[in-house]
Chains A and B, each alone.
Chain A
């Protein structure tokens, strides 16, 4: 008992971090304030996505504004790779991709005077792509042996390590959100719900890779048909929700389509639902508590919030962020 007591009293506070997922890096006043108040010294910036376009593997959505990064921040370049990029990729594709990725990340960092020690790949790999993906990771690590390569890991990958495989890296970030399949029939919040989380939670401790933990603070609009999520609707694609000729308000944040219409190229069928899903303080704290009970807190870990965007701080205050960090300490 005494030993445990000493350990919990002397351990260093766990560090907070954020993902930055927008395409132009520019910190608003609220965002800068958030970083200061939460003593955040590092952020994960999405540099670009990798996807397939006309059968070629290409970088898309390159982030701009990297010159605006404050010197005090440690940057972890993060690359999102779609799973379909890896489907059917040949050995040669993987080799070329590994070279392209490392040179692109390095060039973007050098041009913008960014020094980094770690970089991260975010990919929801599947059984079909695990061999290709793990091969890519190995090659990437070999080409950038002076940096730590980390990857994101979904809960289902933690629960089924035999099927999903274990990525050949030293560090991972467990994404403690988007647990179920997005298109599962559900009335639950698809960002986070305790029921889904509890199915996976007991497997975390046994995972053989050192883990940091990512928690959600974002909200999104989902487009549902027959109770299934068929897509996410970005802010500028949301139809005029005050038009009650076409939309019926079911409750705050949920609308049912009364008569079909097209908007920004997206079709809303009669009976579809448009729903805002968000993480509030109670859900975030609940998630943190559940996670806290199921991780080995004696090991050093970061808590990373997804994502740094001032709109989220309307529902999640700095105090809540600090409270969550305390829970996970």
Chain B
């Protein structure tokens, strides 16, 4: 699937035009859900979003950051501003707090302090912004001044904490400031902390000092200081968890992995804004330190949280089992379940697509995961049993245990669908089960799958947030088409999924059958449904038939179908009757054209010329020559390649040297035939020379398309080029060819 989508957009640079064919391409970039029909969002836990699995990376990225932040980005500022707002009982606006905390220069902070205290002789001059955000008059003032002292102190710490390196410098430095500065700052912080009475402020000094110790690589001191003051930190404020992050980091630096990871798990569970950041710091090293981390836990809850982190980090299946043993109702289970399903899905989704004639495997995949999930689902003890039943059904179907799968699907059905996402998920899994086991299709199966198909292809379903319906739809079309092709119902197959049988519509009889299929009023309900959802309609096939008839020199029939193909009359970019020694499509496209040809008018003109060639002897040669030009130009080599652009046949056109010889548009033999007819009909040597050269071009093109792989170069002189050299070297035209055509001049000079 990943591969096929790449071909949905292609730039046909060969055309010298820039046709962008972007059929059925919904736009946007890859989001990592391309091979998935299982949306992790069904667990309905927004705080887990950033931990959902993407096909290309272990986690959702980009827009899914989920409001997380760490101490190195500004997303945490909001949390901090909210807390200060509470400190001031909402008396200071958030804008003012933003200003004083993150924008104001230390000098402005000092000026504000002096202004409030009124202790200096000279009245400090406040900046406009400080005036706008003034704290003067905010009561009680014994809250504002300590706030400003703290802000001043914190601002002086930023240079230690927030480092910007230039990595491209000769010697990037890890530390930017002398140790004595930071030591002084630590002493100052401890002193200021002693002076404050307010616990809110005290917490902030504890955080600052712990962080300073960490940045001064005094890891032991960081841990000791925090431990000594831990009781002053409230779990309801961010300071406790942010300070704890530095303590965990200090343990990590001292290779005390068990303590570090345990503390990370506490922050992970208690302080949502840092959830992702601390997870990324979580690195159990060996079995021993991991077990010690578990031993440090003080409750079942703490243990299950640690196991969830381990499940994301290393082994979801094992973690699920451990958590389930500890607490079957644990809310830590669901995230691991959907991660497990998505991981397993990455293994089996690549094997799901079928090819015509391919034997349907009896054996499924991913049995172990299916068993593990089934066991838990069957006990019905989790807090979210419907999700478990859906997952168990899906994995059992993938492992081709359809009896088990059906059992869990039935259980999921009974548990009332709690939202539209889950309902859509239910139908996708139901349809997956029905089609994954199908070896053939009959009226009974058609009827059976209809409700699921209708749900999945419903436009409303597509608009459900997070639904992963695209892959499901691609897969359903693929399997249905292959099943119908297996019944030799090729038109049904083609209607549901075009090109299921490759190259089938190079053949006019098959195209006629396809047109007849659309005209037939009798269709099953499933067919009726898909005809409304079909990629191409009757007119596309009529146009294709027009093209194919033209490529077979059946111009009257071609015209009939071009005329009947409503709204499919392609305009050609160059005059299709023009020809040069060297093909130059851009020149032909740029040239002013008196008559702009379309497919229809082009064929009409061809018919007219053919009639004239037959009826007026004096114009026979010239008309054959023009007809030959027309046939040449409607091939890949000509200036009117748009002639054969058709939704059905050029949908996934990709220049493949191995296949080119097989495609009608690459065949110049009709042009060759008419150049030779033109030559035979004329006695003018110059004209004959021209026809011979054109015939040589056709011959060279045919050779190029079938060029042996090991042949070096792109040119080989054929019969007509040799004839040109031996019979027409005294013509004026010959001289022009030698001048213009590099290949030919190399050949004649050999």
Q: Please determine whether A267 and B315 come into contact, CB atoms closer than 8 angstroms.
A: yes
Expressed in whole angstroms, the Cα–Cα distance for A53 and B165 within the complex equals 12
Expressed in whole angstroms, the Cα–Cα distance for A250 and B678 within the complex equals 74
Q: Per-residue CB proximity of B269-296 to A under 8 Å, as 1/0?
A: 0000000000000011111001000000
Q: Please determine whether B286 and A205 come into contact, CB atoms closer than 8 angstroms.
A: no
Known: A265-B283, A265-B284. A54 touches B167 (CB 8 A): no
Q: Please determine whether B710 and A202 come into contact, CB atoms closer than 8 angstroms.
A: yes
Interface of A is mostly: mixed
Q: Please determine whether B290 and A262 come into contact, CB atoms closer than 8 angstroms.
A: yes
Which of A202, A262, A264, A267 counts the most B-chain CB atoms under 10 A from its CB?
Answer: A262
Cross-chain contact of A269 among B167, B283, B314, B709 (Cβ < 8 A): B314
Expressed in whole angstroms, the Cα–Cα distance for A202 and B6 within the complex equals 24
Q: How far is the CB of B341 from chain A (nearest CB, A)?
A: 15
Chain B residues whose CB sits within 8 angstroms of the CB of A267 once the complex forms: 313-315
The reply to whether the CB of B318 lies closer than 8 angstroms to some CB of chain A is: yes
Cross-chain contact of B318 among A59, A260, A263 (Cβ < 8 A): A260
Cross-chain contact of A107 among B170, B318, B710 (Cβ < 8 A): B170
Chain B residues whose CB sits within 8 angstroms of the CB of A103 once the complex forms: 168
Interface residue tally on B, bucketed by range: 20 to 34
Q: Per-residue CB proximity of A46-62 to B under 8 Å, as 1/0?
A: 00000001101011000
Chain B residues whose CB sits within 8 angstroms of the CB of A56 once the complex forms: 167
Q: Please determine whether B285 and A262 come into contact, CB atoms closer than 8 angstroms.
A: yes
Q: How far is the CB of B555 from chain A (nearest CB, A)?
A: 34
Q: How far is the CB of A297 from chain B (nearest CB, A)?
A: 13
Q: Please determine whether A162 and B284 come into contact, CB atoms closer than 8 angstroms.
A: no
- A107 nearest in chain B by CB position: B170
Interface of B is mostly: loop
Q: Please determine whether B347 and A226 come into contact, CB atoms closer than 8 angstroms.
A: yes
Q: How far is the CB of B60 from chain A (nearest CB, A)?
A: 16
Chain A residues whose CB sits within 8 angstroms of the CB of B347 once the complex forms: 226
The reply to whether the CB of A100 lies closer than 8 angstroms to some CB of chain B is: yes
Q: Which residues between 108 and 148 of chain A lie within 8 Å of chain B, taking CB atoms? A: 127
The reply to whether the CB of B72 lies closer than 8 angstroms to some CB of chain A is: yes
The reply to whether the CB of B653 lies closer than 8 angstroms to some CB of chain A is: no
Chain A contact residue count (CB 8 A cutoff):
22
Q: Please determine whether A269 and B168 come into contact, CB atoms closer than 8 angstroms.
A: no
Q: Please determine whether A54 and B72 come into contact, CB atoms closer than 8 angstroms.
A: yes
The reply to whether the CB of B655 lies closer than 8 angstroms to some CB of chain A is: yes
Q: Please determine whether B712 and A205 come into contact, CB atoms closer than 8 angstroms.
A: yes
Q: Please determine whether B710 and A162 come into contact, CB atoms closer than 8 angstroms.
A: no
Q: Please determine whether B314 and A202 come into contact, CB atoms closer than 8 angstroms.
A: no
Q: Please determine whether B285 and A265 come into contact, CB atoms closer than 8 angstroms.
A: yes
Q: Please determine whether B709 and A202 come into contact, CB atoms closer than 8 angstroms.
A: yes
Expressed in whole angstroms, the Cα–Cα distance for A5 and B133 within the complex equals 90
Expressed in whole angstroms, the Cα–Cα distance for A320 and B295 within the complex equals 55
Q: How far is the CB of B314 from chain A (nearest CB, A)?
A: 4
Expressed in whole angstroms, the Cα–Cα distance for A265 and B287 within the complex equals 9
Expressed in whole angstroms, the Cα–Cα distance for A205 and B313 within the complex equals 46
Q: Please determine whether B315 and A269 come into contact, CB atoms closer than 8 angstroms.
A: yes
Chain B residues whose CB sits within 8 angstroms of the CB of A205 once the complex forms: 710, 712
Expressed in whole angstroms, the Cα–Cα distance for A266 and B655 within the complex equals 44
Expressed in whole angstroms, the Cα–Cα distance for A59 and B96 within the complex equals 40
Expressed in whole angstroms, the Cα–Cα distance for A151 and B709 within the complex equals 26
Known: A162-B655, A262-B285. A58 touches B167 (CB 8 A): yes
Expressed in whole angstroms, the Cα–Cα distance for A314 and B406 within the complex equals 58
Q: How far is the CB of B70 from chain A (nearest CB, A)?
A: 10
The reply to whether the CB of A104 lies closer than 8 angstroms to some CB of chain B is: yes
Chain B residues whose CB sits within 8 angstroms of the CB of A162 once the complex forms: 655
Q: Per-residue CB proximity of B549-560 to A under 8 Å, as 1/0?
A: 000000000000
Chain A residues whose CB sits within 8 angstroms of the CB of B168 once the complex forms: 58-59, 100, 103-104
Chain A residues whose CB sits within 8 angstroms of the CB of B315 once the complex forms: 260, 267, 269
Chain A residues whose CB sits within 8 angstroms of the CB of B318 once the complex forms: 260, 269
- B317 nearest in chain A by CB position: A269
Chain A residues whose CB sits within 8 angstroms of the CB of B283 once the complex forms: 265
Expressed in whole angstroms, the Cα–Cα distance for A162 and B7 within the complex equals 13
Q: Which residues between 153 and 171 of chain B lie within 8 Å of chain A, taking CB atoms? A: 167-168, 170
- A203 nearest in chain B by CB position: B709
Chain B residues whose CB sits within 8 angstroms of the CB of A261 once the complex forms: 286-287
Q: Per-residue CB proximity of B693-732 to A under 8 Å, as 1/0?
A: 0000000000000000110100000000000000000000
- B285 nearest in chain A by CB position: A265
Q: Please determine whether A262 and B170 come into contact, CB atoms closer than 8 angstroms.
A: no
- A111 nearest in chain B by CB position: B170
| Contact surface of A with B, Cβ cutoff 8 Å | 53-54, 56, 58-59, 100, 103-104, 107, 127, 162, 202, 205, 226, 260-265, 267, 269
7 A-B residue pairings within 8 Å (CB atoms): A56-B167, A104-B168, A205-B712, A226-B347, A262-B314, A263-B285, A267-B313
Q: Contacts A262-B286, A265-B284 given; 11 further ones with Cβ under 8 A?
A: A53-B167, A56-B167, A58-B168, A100-B168, A107-B170, A205-B712, A261-B286, A262-B290, A265-B283, A267-B314, A269-B315
